[in-house]
Structure 1
Amino acid sequence: MRWLPVLYVVIVLLLEPVTPVEWPVSFVLIALPLLTAFAHGPAVVAGATVFAVLLEGVLAGTPCCAGRSVGYLWDRHYVASYICTALVGALGTILAAHRVRRERTLADVRFVAEIAQRVLLRPVPHRIGNLLLASLYLSAAAEARIGGDLYEAVPTMYGVRLLIGDVRGKGLLAVETAAALLGAFREAAYDESDLPALAGRVETSMSRGATLLGGSEMSERFVTAVFAEIPADAHVVRVVNCGHPPPLLIRPDEVRELDRGRSAPPLNLGMLIGDPYHVDVYEFRPGDQLLLYTDGITETRDPAGSFYPLPQRLRSWGPLPPRELMERLHQDLLAYSHDRLQDDTAALTACLLADERSAPPPPPAGVADSGEPR
């Protein structure tokens, strides 16, 4: 775009000598200031306007151009062209100044949004104990940086606790709800001894916030979420699902959903229904990887309308380290949707490293090798 005005002038100069005299190609130089305004500031547009007027005069006053025997420097048609070019240049200068102001404002908004994202969705540590972690967040809106999808990883005395969630709806209210939920989780994760108590406390905080805000919008705002806990002293993962897509367990020889059909209602709805939270325990061996994700991934569509086949894609890729897995998933989602994501997407993955100091402990009572209850 920055070189488009130069290319435009070159084309005019090439066409002027070969066109008939009744076709004064130099008149199209009127558009030069507007072309310049697309990629340059007001000072450059003003300079391009002066240049266009002078070049029109040179072409009009040169007898050899287009086979003319005399020049038409002060012909009324050419004088009208000078005036029109000057007027278009003035409008282009104003347009360029307005565009520059808008770009600066947009840059400021992006900067603030990036700072807000760092506060709301802090980058997860690359490693916590014997866990390798990685996260992914993609916004469906090109200019957006934050939304209603959320994730978090917190090291506690009970093990590493993970959270993935998706707030119903969009906009500022969804961001506010996500911030409230993350704040409650980050505080309660250190205090509550088990996942049901943690989920209950987070839900209580959300309900309290809805009461303080008043109105009907917040009371109707709910969040699907998955709470996971990976203790350091046992090769298991504990999961509490609150109406969210089930996590995926990734092994070298299999990729399967961790779902036993005991999902609780979404947060902020459980207190109305009164359904208790259920903890599902699965074996989590060294080399295993847990993938938490939002439905923005599985609901990504290709141009034909087919949903993104996440488990099949993971099986075809084979075992990948967390960071490489997130990068591969990122690129594959964009390619599958042809860069047209319809919803925000988030993912969080944790891979258990082998502990070389001691042999893996046997699975706790009640957990079989396959991860199903005995």
Structure 2
Amino acid sequence: MQLWRRFTHRLRSRQAGDALLALPLGLIVVIVLADVLAARLPLGPSLLIVAPALTASFASTLVTGAIAAVAVAGMLIIGLDSHLLGTVDYGSQFFALLVVSGVVTVFCYLRERRARELALVRMVSEATQRAVLRPLPRQIGPLRVASMYLAAQEQSLMGGDLYAAIRTPTGTRLIIGDVMGKGLTAISDAALLLGAFRESAHRQADLPELAAYLDRSVCWNLAEPSEVETAGECFITAALLDIPDALPLIHMVSCGHPPPLLLRARQVSALRATKPAPPLGLGELTAAVYHVDTFAFEPEELLLLHTDGVIEARDARGAFYPLAERASSWTLHSPSALIRHLRTDLLAHVGGHLTDDAAVIAVQHTFRQTPTVVHTTDDSA
């Protein structure tokens, strides 16, 4: 199906290009015939310059060069028919056509080379960003998962928001976070935290130890010699979650991050931390204590993790996006369906363009408690 779509797209593009190509060719034919049959129009030969210039706006270098050659041939036909080959006026027009044809052909070549370079840079950038912010699978252990990432910066797949999931022997650990700032610095800090999380989520025994390790990692990064001036000026809000495979529970450590939402039976409740810790990167300044909050997470309920780019998105009137209100009508959806509705609704709310990065993860637990089997013995035997 995908190959067929590509084939039909290329076919339609080629047909559109062929239709446009008829315009400069028709123009050359009309000018030559009009000049030959209408007793040598004075402006006829000079109008041939329009054909290669027009072709350069939509065609490739090879096609532009071919149209330019046809235009030069048409001018030669006009010169032979009118016996003007040796005149100064004809020579100046012929020279002008050669110069313009050469210039537009070189322009097409430079444009195509630039497009190839940009395509290569974009491909490398996309591969790098996807390696840093790996797409979440639809199924992680007993969890059904769907995710969405909308970067505010154009031509970018990743900004300062981040998320990741790691399997442990007893469950799944999730992180969602938001780096202060934008641009390459925010992407670099997000990549650092994601790398630290993936490296340590397997080894740290509990969430407080994991949060402390991640905080130290961010602080170490800020203490690099080239980053001394920014020390203490960067932080990352984050929420760390541990969802056991065998229990309908959520364990969470919040580091200044917006509370996740739990969706059940058309009701939405915020999972607020009782003792939220400061954002990662500020732990050394505040002697942070990481408190674990535990919440019930029954089967078929939906857990919605998000960054502030969602709830702080504004419409044309300046109103914030009402995530909890809108999510209340999606409580019976699957994670993937919820993400689709949320994406469409959020972009419609902001008019198609976000001013801040936005990341969302929807999680559903498929845990089914195994009934306890009671073994009895027959004493009468």
TM-score range, shorter chain: 0.7 to 0.9
Q: CA deviation at 1:257?
A: 2.1
Q: Match of 1:370?
A: none
Q: Residue 286 of structure 2: which of 265, 268, 273 is its match?
A: 273
Change (3 A) 1:8 1:28: farther
Change (3 A) 1:60 1:273: farther
CA distance in 2, matches of 1:3, 1:304: 46
Change (3 A) 1:233 1:356: closer
Alignment of 1:117-266 (within 5 A): 117-213=129-225, 214-217=227-230, 219-260=232-273, 262-266=275-279
Describe the superposition over 1:243-285 as per-residue Cα deviations: whole angstroms up to 9, x where unpaired: 2222111223212322256432211013212242232222111
Q: Match of 1:366?
A: none
Change (3 A) 1:233 1:357: closer
Alignment of 1:6-25 (within 5 A): 6=21, 8-9=23-24, 12=27, 24=43
Moved more, 291-300 or 31-40: 31-40
CA distance in 2, matches of 1:343, 1:178: 15
Q: What TM-score do the two structures reach when normalised by structure 1?
A: 0.80
Q: Which amino acid aligns with 1:46?
A: G
The DSSP-based 3-state class of the residue aligned with 1:249 is strand
The DSSP-based 3-state class of the residue aligned with 1:191 is coil
1:322 matched to 2:335: yes
CA distance in 2, matches of 1:256, 1:340: 28
- Aligned residues, how many? 352
Kept in 1, the 8 Å contact 2:245–2:367? The answer is: no
Please list every run of 5 or more consecutive structure 1 residues that lacks an aligned counterpart in the other structure: 63-69, 360-374
Change (3 A) 1:260 1:175: closer
Q: What TM-score do the two structures reach when normalised by structure 2?
A: 0.79
Q: Which amino acid aligns with 1:321?
A: S
Q: Which amino acid aligns with 1:170?
A: K
Q: CA deviation at 1:27?
A: 4.8
Q: CA deviation at 1:4?
A: 7.1
The DSSP-based 3-state class of the residue aligned with 1:316 is coil
Kept in 2, the 8 Å contact 1:4–1:36? The answer is: no
Kept in 1, the 8 Å contact 2:274–2:293? The answer is: no
Q: Which amino acid aligns with 2:269?
A: R
Q: CA deviation at 1:164?
A: 0.5
Moved more, 247-256 or 140-149: 140-149
1:346 matched to 2:365: no
The DSSP-based 3-state class of the residue aligned with 1:6 is helix
Moved more, 276-285 or 2-11: 2-11
Please list every run of 5 or more consecutive structure 2 residues that lacks an aligned counterpart in the other structure: 1-15, 373-381
Q: Let me know the Cα RMSD of the aligned residues.
A: 3.3
CA distance in 2, matches of 1:37, 1:182: 46
Change (3 A) 1:71 1:325: farther
Kept in 1, the 8 Å contact 2:246–2:367? The answer is: no
Change (3 A) 1:122 1:53: same
Kept in 1, the 8 Å contact 2:143–2:364? The answer is: yes
Q: Which amino acid aligns with 2:126?
A: E
Change (3 A) 1:44 1:218: farther
Kept in 2, the 8 Å contact 1:30–1:81? The answer is: no
Q: Match of 1:40?
A: 59
Q: Which amino acid aligns with 1:223?
A: I
